[in-house]
Amino acid sequence: MKKQQQNDGKRKGIIVAHYGVAVDVLFADSGEQSMVRVKRNSGHVVGDNVEVEDEVLNRLERQSELCRMDARGGIHIVGANLDVLCIVVTCEPMSSPGFIDRAIVASRAANLTPVLVMNKSDLDCFKSYYKSVQPIFKDSVELFSVSAETGINLHALEDFFSEGHRGIFVGSTGVGKSSILNKMLPNINLSTGEISETKKRGRHTTTVSTLHMLPRGGELVDSPGFNDFGLVDTTIAELATFFPGFEKAVELPCKFRDCKHREEPDCSVTELVEEGEISRERYQTYLQILTEVEMIEAEPKFRERRHRRKKN
Ligand X SMILES: Nc1nc2c(ncn2[C@@H]2O[C@H](COP(=O)(O)OP(=O)(O)OP(=O)(O)O)[C@@H](O)[C@H]2O)c(=O)[nH]1
For binding to Mg ion (CB under 5 A), which residues are involved?
A: 177-178, 205-206
Instruction: Name the one range near ligand X by CB under 6 A: 43-51, 172-180, 231-239, 293-301.
Output: 172-180
Q: How far is CA 172 from CA 113, 201, 228, 283, in A?
A: 19, 9, 9, 24
Quote the distance between the C-alpha of residue 62 and its chain's center. 16
Residue 179 site contact among Mg ion, ligand X, none (CB < 5 to 8 Å, cut-off depends on kind): ligand X
3-class DSSP state of 8: helix
Tell me how far apart the alpha carbons of residues 212 and 199 are, in angstroms, rounded to a whole number. Answer: 31
Quote the distance between the C-alpha of residue 171 and its chain's center. 8
Q: Which of residues 223-252 bind ligand X (CB under 6 A)?
A: 224-225
Beta-sheet strands, E only, within 107-218: 113-118, 142-145, 166-170, 210-213
Taking CB under 6 A as the rule, does residue 147 contact ligand X?
Answer: yes
Residue 119 site contact among ligand X, Mg ion, none (CB < 5 to 8 Å, cut-off depends on kind): ligand X
Closer residue to ligand X, CB minimum distance, 50 or 181: 181
CB 130 within 8 Å of CB 144: no
Residue 123 site contact among ligand X, Mg ion, none (CB < 5 to 8 Å, cut-off depends on kind): ligand X
Question: For 6, left (φ over 0), alpha (ψ -120 to 50), or beta?
Answer: alpha
Tell me how far apart the alpha carbons of residues 168 and 177 are, in angstroms, rounded to a whole number. Answer: 10
Taking CB under 6 A as the rule, does residue 95 contact ligand X?
Answer: no
Q: How far is the CB of 106 from ligand X (least distance, A)?
A: 18
Q: How far is the CB of 66 from ligand X (least distance, A)?
A: 17
Closer residue to ligand X, CB minimum distance, 179 or 285: 179
> Can you tell me which of 113, 145, 153, 205 binds ligand X, judged by CB under 6 A?
205
Taking CB under 6 A as the rule, does residue 206 contact ligand X?
Answer: yes
- Measured at the CA of 189, the angle between CA 184 and CA 194, to 5 degrees, comes to 95
Residue 62 site contact among ligand X, Mg ion, none (CB < 5 to 8 Å, cut-off depends on kind): none
Residue 143 site contact among Mg ion, ligand X, none (CB < 5 to 8 Å, cut-off depends on kind): none
Taking CB under 6 A as the rule, does residue 177 contact ligand X?
Answer: yes
Q: How far is CA 138 from CA 37, 238, 245, in A?
A: 44, 21, 9
Contact set with ligand X (CB under 6 A): 119-120, 122-123, 147-149, 171, 173-179, 192-195, 202-206, 224-225
